[in-house]
Structure 1
Amino acid sequence: MSDNETRVAIVTGGSGGIGGAVARRLARDGMAAAVHYSGNETRARGVLEDIEAEGGRGLVLRADIADETAMSALFDTVEGEFGGVDVVVNTAGIMLLAPLADLDMDDLDRMHRINIRGAFVVTQQAARRVRRGGAIVNFSSSVVRLQFPSYAGYAASKGAVNAMTLILARELRGKDITVNVVAPGPTATDLFLDGKDEQTVEGLAKLAPLERLGTPDDIAETVSYLAGPARWVNGQVLYVNGGIA
């Protein structure tokens, strides 16, 4: 990629709270942003409208992240539209909570398919296609080490994301591609707030020394750093949680 060529980012889960914030931020950073979604086209197109309203470029694409054929086609489309891929940010995921003894196996299988297989499929395509000087950013969660009750299945799926991502960083030796994990703490998104009462939310907000929940923009700021200037940060899990742990 020449110095004057626009960098290109793919953001999976781009219709979500964090994914949308990431796509908007990378577009503000000057990248063309491919906004992926799996179900909510209206929100994904709203993210693209925001990007274009600020003079940015992008497109909206739907695909099942756990389907390798569909994701290969998505990468093909982005390369055909913009000439290549420089940054892949995989925010897509689901969170289904229950105590380990009570977790429905169908729910565990759903999280396995999206959070583990999906992350593997996206990361595999990224490893094959991201250009030199690029970045791969996967999403985990601070609950991997916070050990909140009812999060066993979800945390297990995110622990797998940590493992595959850190190994890939070593496998891409010599390719000038950074590979990292962002592990947010409690963040004010629909996914996180769903089903929680006000007292629970307030208690979670008090966990951090900063005494608030994170925001999607807080997380997007970290992704922007990893996707841009942070060329010496590689093979790391960054716990972005305001200092909880």
Structure 2
Amino acid sequence: MSDLTGKVALVTGGSRGIGAATAKRLAADGATVALSYHSSPDAARAVVDAIAEAGGTAQAYRADAASPEANAALVRQVVEDHGGLDILVNNAGVYKTGPVHEFSDEDYDANLDVSLRGSFATIREAAKHLRDDGRIVNLGSVVANTGMPGNGIYGAAKAGVAILAKSVAKELGGRGITVNTVHPGPIDTDMNPADPGENPYAATLAGMTALGRYGTADEIASAIAFLASDDAAYVTGAELTVDGGMTA
């Protein structure tokens, strides 16, 4: 466990899956955690309550991750409420997939607006407020670096997130701020369940990994917590792939 005592962290899309696991992990490491949600207030409240029951501090904020204005307002509100910002985790995303010849403009917009435009908007605002030696961690995907049928637009959005992080890392490095991307492989969440009874692709995806299984949200949260900590002070502009050897 890293010591994040006194740090303020914002986790977008923190009401479920990887976001919820990350919010809980950063709080367990000592950070005051702000988490955003869009349409799941009960789930967000459950995460806040779980953190409080474990002795941590958290607050939930409603924000539309596809709206640049909402993302900017979210960052400003967190800074106002908690006196600053040290860690930004851009986790909010949508998973719209399908064959390229059937992919709609609406699905294209959903992928880009939330994953890429949303991350850009929070980074743009956070850059004005992050304390020196702050941390930005973006959530990418293994499909940002390798082709997979049906994942072209999702992968393109996540690849954009990764190159955005590299460029911003060079812009903000003079202040000691690091900017990195975590690329998860198949992770057991409600968006991509590991149960073959719920997900017809689960067995195939698990079989593509060297470890022969799905990862857990907690395993991704551990990687994010490392990049958010002082232990990763010399890691920036990097892409950390956490996929059980899927792309080895």
Q: Conserved in 2, the CA contact under 8 Å of 1:65 and 1:122?
A: no
Task: Provide Cα deviations, 1:45-75, integer angstroms capped at 9, x if missing partner.
Answer: 1000010001111111011223333223222
Q: Which residue of 2 aligns with 1:238?
A: 240
CA distance in 1, matches of 2:171, 2:11: 22
Amino acid at match of 2:242: V
Task: Provide Cα deviations, 1:2-37, integer angstroms capped at 9, x if missing partner.
Answer: x99710000000012000000000000000000110
Deviation, structure 1 residue 100: 1.1
Task: Provide Cα deviations, 1:170-222, integer angstroms capped at 9, x if missing partner.
Answer: 11131100100011000001112399755521121122211110100000000
Aligned residues: 243
> Which deviates the most, 11-20 or 61-70?
61-70
Task: Provide Cα deviations, 1:94-150, integer angstroms capped at 9, x if missing partner.
Answer: 011111121111111121211121111011122221111210001110012231100
Could you list the structure 1 runs, at least 4 aligned residues long, displaced by more than 6 angstroms after superposition.
none
* 3-state secondary structure, aligned to 1:46: helix
Q: Which residue of 2 aligns with 1:24?
A: 24
Q: Which residue of 1 aligns with 2:202?
A: 201
Deviation, structure 1 residue 243: 1.3
Ranges in structure 1 where 5+ consecutive residues have no aligned partner: none
> Which deviates the most, 145-154 or 67-76?
67-76
Q: How does 1:58-77 map to 2 (within 5 A)?
A: 58-77=58-77
Q: Conserved in 1, the CA contact under 8 Å of 2:4 and 2:29?
A: no
> Which deviates the most, 71-80 or 124-133?
71-80
Deviation, structure 1 residue 159: 1.1
TM-score w.r.t. structure 1 length?
0.94
* 3-state secondary structure, aligned to 2:14: coil
Q: How does 1:28-107 map to 2 (within 5 A)?
A: 28-107=28-107
CA distance in 2, matches of 1:43, 1:22: 14
Q: Which residue of 2 aligns with 1:210?
A: 211
CA distance in 2, matches of 1:160, 1:130: 22
Amino acid at match of 2:157: S
Q: Structure 2 vs 1, CA of residues 127 and 4 (structure 1 numbering), >3 Å: closer, same or farther? A: closer
Q: Which residue of 2 aligns with 1:226?
A: 227
CA distance in 2, matches of 1:81, 1:152: 39
Q: Conserved in 2, the CA contact under 8 Å of 1:91 and 1:139?
A: yes
CA distance in 1, matches of 2:4, 2:233: 19
Q: Structure 2 vs 1, CA of residues 4 and 231 (structure 1 numbering), >3 Å: closer, same or farther? A: closer
TM-score w.r.t. structure 2 length?
0.93
Identical columns (%) = 38
CA distance in 1, matches of 2:182, 2:4: 28
* 3-state secondary structure, aligned to 2:24: helix
> Which deviates the most, 108-117 or 29-38?
108-117
Amino acid at match of 2:244: G
Ranges in structure 2 where 5+ consecutive residues have no aligned partner: none
